[in-house]
Chains A and B, each alone.
Chain A
Amino acid sequence: MLELIFFNITNGLIVGAFYALMAIGLSLILNLSGVINFAHGGFLVIGGYLAYVLTPYIGFWGALIVSPFLTAIIGVAVEWLLIRRLYGRDPLYSLLLTFGLAFIIEDGTRQIWGANGLPVSVPPALMSALSSRFFFITGYRMFMVATVAIVVVLLFVLLRHTRVGVRIRAGTLDLETVAALGINVRALRSFNFAVGIFLAGLAGVLAGGQLGLEPTMGDGLLMPSFIAIIVGGVGSLTGTLVGGLLIGVAAGLTAVVFPSASDAVMYVIMAIVLLVRPRGLFGEEGMLT
């Protein structure tokens, strides 16, 4: 029983780390550009399939770095060509656009690589279990959580201690004043978009190594990521991080006692949080505070 609970907590943390990674990227884009990026799961898919293509040439480690960067570049191209034109309009426009993009990416992936699952090969060193009792804690799972943790810490350092990061946080509340202070807010938004998409691409590589690739692999992550943002409080990245981990672990634990409710529990948590703190756990305080 103890193993079972522990297994599900571990699982929940890993799933939660993915929710958090996706949700933080979504949150960055939503906060600065006011765009609800429904194509976020699509960029995860692109990141994963790029890793599949690149691994034979540059290995898993190379792909782990290069794929998210390429995904971010593709993301910026999409932002420049399409999404940018809808800034400042009713959010419905960008929502429809990204919704359409999500379908295009999914079908495009299916066209190129087929509907069947494909593997991302992971170095054998990462695949072994750490102990026989806790067989489910493979090196790869530890590695995934550690990677997410490192990337999140780096992101927070960027936002707190670099000029561009501070400008992003300033722009979250008052982009007009940031512009009036001489900052190229178009470039700032593009950079911020790239960071968000980088995180999605990274999630795609990591997920591909664990579960393999499918054109629809991003679908299941999008709704929990939105819930993570709402639970944490729109505007707070710390909240988004906590929200992602929280619903991941809650879903994992629920799977022990009542497996069929493990998805529903996310919505229950969201409802409770919204009743008690309508702005989410870390709302009101503003981003990163």
Chain B
Amino acid sequence: MFPAPFGYVRAESLDEALAVLAREGPGAKILAGGQSLLPMMKLRIAEPALLVDIHRLPALTGWQETAEGLTLGAVVRHSQLERAEALQEFYPLLGRTARWIADPLVRNRGTVAGSLAHADPAGDWGAALLALGASVTLRSLTRTRELPLDAFLVDIFTTALEPDEVLTAIRIPKPAGRPFGTYLKLERKVGDFAVVGVAVNVVLDARHTVVEAGIGLAGVGPRALRAPAAEAALIGHPLESGGIREAAALAAEAADPVSDRRGSRAYKRNVVRVFVERGLKALADESRPEVGVTA
């Protein structure tokens, strides 16, 4: 299987990439890790006229941790976050999500930003980054805008990206207390997209009260979803079984899955409930050092 012919530019700078996009219009596509785009081109589902390769642009690599939060460059790869021990203290959910994506070889190429731009409704980063309250920076030659991820993700394989824009950075606010987060995924086998993916993230204050909560869902709607009612139910309380059960039930209601070969709507909803409950319980255990269980 071979892609249809196309042109190729390896951008030497972000401005060059933006200029090419502005000039070429919708026929031009950004190439990041290529782990979604190239398979589609090989199957000839996608036939872009020109690829603008940004995967080695120094300006987009790596991340920065500041007092406000974490900024991920657009070509940070899944495997980098999987191994980023330095991020575990404040952003434990990142590493625990990364390890579930695709397989180790795909993780070595694919990027977090590429995942968001691709907007597969079963993609894992959408759910995890919604749970972390992330926002994205979009740049074109003429403007820069910052959107909450919730506004960026629109529909199946559809985002707020304009054809001349590049997603240049992902920002995650710094937690206002001790963060705990984990990702649970039901996949049919390694390398499968999520049947159901659930990201849970809570931030506790010194008295073990939840001060921030994020719950993101993958595979159960036309795009990654947040479960705001469930999040709200957790805030202001300690992480305890009663509240956890309530949040789990509310999260299941937020899910809007379709019945397909991966399971019925009722099944997927139930898995959301089970996962939210299990995930939060695991975080509760983890937050009590005397128990010291890690997910």
Are chains A and B native binding partners rather than an unrelated pairing?
no
Please report A residues at the B interface, Cβ cutoff 8 Å.
none
